[in-house]
A and B are shown apart, each in its own frame.
Chain A
């Protein structure tokens, strides 16, 4: 095994030959050298850092945009460098692809060497074995070297015998383990890349009593790999019958969520209970319960007693006590109307902040509304967030706090009723192909590492210079191929199996 290249050899390989093939070969050798592999490992670690500090598109586009407006000076440069999508950027991919090439270039020649090593016998003992670890001369009551050979073989050593001397070697599984380990890293990377190309995931908000069908238009947020195609999306739908949530009421961690439970009915008419961490799988797609919130039902009636709005509105939770904000836009009315609303599941009056929510459950629900009139800006063709009211061309009329069931008679003649509070649940729909391959890769990596790090390659020699009748003197010594292994322990074991008890030496306690 080519373990360490001598300094001399190394300087020789760094001189590039002048022809093209030689140049390629030189590059290949550089790429697959261990120094390069270590450099690439360090580079991959460094390259991963910015993605953990800067907001990433893959996690939240909103946060990326916020960061960009806050730091206009760097926004463009950072974006051009792919710093908001580090793990999909060309330079990150370049590093790990180089690492994989280097890995393959490392593994294949070693596979070859390993294959050959099966047919090779361990080399003959060196001339002066007394220079090696654990050298000792011992008297044994065996004169037949065949017997010695078979005992050593039985201990699992591979033996090369020459007359009255033999070399035995052990620990070949170390190399096999190492190879399996590195090969499975390649498998793992392929699986990861496969997943990144073909996966999709999206979030959906479903109000109690409503349903969801797995089509692109129904997602509030959707992301897919570069090679994903809509045709592959499984066809399913479900209805959210009701949603149960429970919060800690004790003093410790008051308000922390303790139970989420969504009761749904699938298109197969099967009833399911979806819990956090307990998703359901349908056609290879997993559906997770990830969050929830309140959806107050509101009804607006105009002067002519016509209902101009009646629906439950999803309010986005803003804090742990579910103070939530929501918006209603009534574009069909003349003038257009807008409502900015805040919802407090357990309202309380704070001397500084005014109305706040002090607990996430509906102990004292209140809705604070402010009514606007004017131009909603929805007709201008620019996509608008349904959670934001653009008040730049509107005027505020009045505001009021309501409890469920209460109706507000506004001065402008509208009648606004806070009918009831419903809930909504957020689901994550995820399709992640290649995960089985990744799991196999990971398990093989663990197994390979177990042998690659746990087994030590070592060699021992046994010589019987002259044999006598009945008893003889043998010479033994050994060599460990990894510096963390103590080969004298192996010698002790071999001698023990010859019936020679180890001298009760003081156990070494030094490190």
Chain B
């Protein structure tokens, strides 16, 4: 079996396991006792999903002989991997099993759209995408996207929580605080992603900022999360106002990835989508 088809197989396994994990995580959501048997199973399963995705990604890189994020399909798989591992790494220190369901749903959606809509066979890059900056820029984007996804999930949980849902979860104030800390982590990485992107653009096209649609939406995303940080630190916004800002920031990310990449052509269009 070729590295490419093995990679596909692992991704399919990951989707399958994630769907099963939906059931475990929804059970663990209803249990007030932490570290119950069900949530332990769910967490172990999540590790398995994480390693399947990582394996799939590595095999993809081997098949293509380059960093495995050269087209939308690979970018989606890499982002899903980042989401899962960010969650797992936080879970090493904190009891966040209850968050699992809110993480696994976006992961399934992302992987699903990757295999159904975005799939491309692996192949070398078009010349314009060959650059070390690509590796740096895209991996920073992927890591921050992973964290922003978790922040988004927490914002949604927060809004549901203050409507009286999910009695067993930590208090709304705690969730709010925690989601803020995630932005504190993700924002500098996103800033770095934008800057390294500008450096790459300079070396590839001779201008570091050209208001290309992709750049514009990266900027919009950055500005929204900057407003989010400000609103909390300086005007003391909390809770739902903040949550809506962070959802707006995430909407910009999703728009940039799905709408701008596919419908709007710019210099950033990938090879084979």
Contact = CB atoms under 8 A, between A and B. Distances in A.
Interface in B118-174: 120-124, 126-128, 130-131, 170, 174
Contacts of A3: 234
B102 interface: no
A230 interface: no
Given A4-B236, A438-B209, A511-B94, 11 more contacts: A38-B230, A45-B252, A48-B211, A52-B217, A86-B211, A201-B207, A256-B123, A290-B205, A449-B191, A484-B180, A509-B34
Interface residues of B, number: 62
A377 interface: no
A435 interface: yes
12 contacts: A34-B230, A38-B235, A41-B230, A45-B223, A49-B216, A276-B127, A428-B205, A428-B206, A446-B192, A446-B195, A449-B191, A511-B94
Q: How large is the interface on A (under 10, 10 to 19, 20 to 34, 35 or more residues)?
A: 35 or more
A286 interface: yes
B117 interface: no
B203 A277 contact: yes
B271 A52 contact: no
The prevalent SS among residues of A at the interface is mixed
A258 B206 contact: no
A157 interface: no
A260 interface: yes
Contacts of B192: 446
Nearest to A439: B199
Contacts of B227: 38, 41-42, 45
Contacts of A450: 188
Contacts of A290: 205
B191 A248 contact: no
Of A56, A252, A259, A275, chain B has the most CB atoms within 10 Å of the CB of A252
B198 interface: yes
Interface string A413-447: 00000000000000010101001001100100110
A449 B127 contact: no
B123 to A, nearest CB: 4
A442 B198 contact: yes
Contacts of A396: none
Given A41-B223, A258-B127, A442-B198, A510 B191 contact: no
The prevalent SS among residues of B at the interface is helix
Interface in A244-273: 248, 250, 252-253, 256-260
B94 A484 contact: no
A510 B96 CA distance: 8
Q: Top 9 A-B pairs ranked by shortest CB distance?
A: A430-B206, A276-B127, A253-B123, A52-B216, A52-B213, A34-B234, A41-B227, A252-B121, A45-B223
A48 B216 contact: yes
A52 B264 contact: yes
A87 interface: yes
Interface in A175-224: 192, 195, 199, 201
Contacts of B33: none
B257 interface: no
A337 B128 CA distance: 40
Nearest to A46: B220
Interface of A: 3-4, 34-35, 37-38, 41-42, 44-45, 48-49, 51-53, 56, 58-59, 86-87, 192, 195, 199, 201, 248, 250, 252-253, 256-260, 275-277, 279, 286, 288, 290, 428, 430, 432, 435, 438-439, 442, 445-446, 449-450, 453, 482-484, 509-511
A261 to B, nearest CB: 9
B121 A482 contact: no
Contact of B95 (A201, A252, A484, A510): A510
B208 interface: yes
Contacts of A275: 127
Contacts of B204: 276-277, 288
A205 to B, nearest CB: 17
B47 interface: no
Contact of B123 (A56, A250, A430): A250
Contacts of A44: 223
A430 B121 contact: no
Contacts of A442: 195, 198
A75 B213 CA distance: 21
B226 interface: yes
Contact of A259 (B127, B211, B216, B271): B127
B260 interface: yes
Nearest to B127: A276
Contacts of B199: 439
Contact of B184 (A59, A256, A484, A509): A484
Contact of A511 (B95, B128, B131, B231): B95
Contact of B127 (A277, A286, A435, A484): A277
B271 A256 contact: yes
B208 A432 contact: yes
Nearest to B271: A256
Contacts of B264: 52-53
A453 B170 contact: no
A432 B195 contact: no
